[in-house]
Amino acid sequence: MIGTLIAQDFRATRKSLVAVVGIALLVVAVSLTMTALRVPVIGQIGLVVGIIAAVMLTLVVLGLLVENYWRTMYGREGYFTMVVPVRGRTLFFAKVVYGLTVAVVGAALSALGLVGAAVAFALSQRQEPLEFLRTGLGMVEPWMAWFAAAALLLQIAYLVVVGAGIMSIGAQGRFNHLGFGAPVLGAVLVYLVMQVVTFAAIMVVPFGVVMVGPDAGSLVPRGMLNEFIAVLGDDPATGSTQPPNVLGLGFVFTSAALIALMAWWGARAVDRHTSLR
């Protein structure tokens, strides 16, 4: 049944996704072409527009996923979804799996768009694009690239799972008189709380990565707290201020914990607290 559910989501969103992605890619292509062809003024604007459109692609795709989730689970189409003979948690996980797949594809397309922007920029500066890319990649440590990719995937998982969880929790009987406002409030609340929690985790959790120096890229059991205090309490008399050379990675644990919590709580909300209006 999970396969049928996911296929149905695809069927329902296929047209909109194709339209949105198509338009975004078109905008990216056209604006970057202007850049590459060194068209005066429009070319520079084109670069900015191209980059923005590439990034927006993922954001709009996520927006579409949110709309589809809310409409099919708690809008009037919810009356079909919720009588399908499956457990609530199965519905939740099917939608999350679909959302993750679509979001990852969207992010990949966005990344491609940004690479395209780099190429267009190179061409506009009369540089050889492949050389340009190689040089650029050379400036980045390999560990940073993996780190960035992992962080991006974590962020996508976070947005999809936590988003779905917040929507389903907000749709419970005791909140649903607020309509979509409930998940919006929930999202704001989660954001504020996570800002605090993430900061604390980066500072305190003994898990970080060395950023500069000979062992850059190695993982160390240190949070950023000492560095932070050192920066704050730096005595100008003792010498130059050292930038922190360890990046606290505690946020990975807290993000993963929230993802797990929202997955459990969201599935439970659909299972036991579905209250269609």
Partner 1 sequence: MNTPLAIEVTGLTKSYRGRTALDGLDLRLAPGQIVGLMGDNGSGKTTLLKILAGVLAEWEGSVRVAGHAPGPESKATVSFLPDASFLPDAHRPADSIDLYARFFDDFDPSRARSMVEFFGLPWDRTLKEMSKGMREKLQISLAMSRRARVYLLDEPISGVDPASRDVILRGILSNFDDDALLLISTHLIQDVEQIVDSVLFLRAGSVLLHGGADELRAEHGMSLDALFRKVYTS
For partner 1, the binding residues (CB under 8 A) are 4, 8, 12, 76-80, 82-87, 172-174, 177, 272-276
Nearest alpha carbon to residue 88 among 269, 275, 261: 269
| Edge-to-edge order in the sheet of strand 246-248 | 219-220, 208-210, 246-248
Q: How far is the CB of 126 from partner 1 (least distance, A)?
A: 49
- State which residue, 8 or 254, has the beta carbon closest to partner 1: 8
Q: How far is the CB of 202 from partner 1 (least distance, A)?
A: 39
- State which residue, 76 or 134, has the beta carbon closest to partner 1: 76
Q: How far is the CB of 270 from partner 1 (least distance, A)?
A: 10
- State which residue, 33 or 172, has the beta carbon closest to partner 1: 172
Q: How far is the CB of 223 from partner 1 (least distance, A)?
A: 42
Which 3-state string (H, E, C) describes 133-196? HHHHHHHCCHHHHHHHHHHHHHHHHHHHHHHHHHHHHHCECCCHHHCCHHHHHHHHHHHHHHHH
- Backbone dihedral angles phi then psi of residue 211, each to the nearest 5 degrees: -100, -35
- State which residue, 117 or 171, has the beta carbon closest to partner 1: 171
Q: How far is the CB of 106 from partner 1 (least distance, A)?
A: 23
- State which residue, 181 or 206, has the beta carbon closest to partner 1: 181
Environment class of residue 167 by beta-carbon count within 10 Å: exposed (0-12), middle (13-18) or buried (19+)? buried
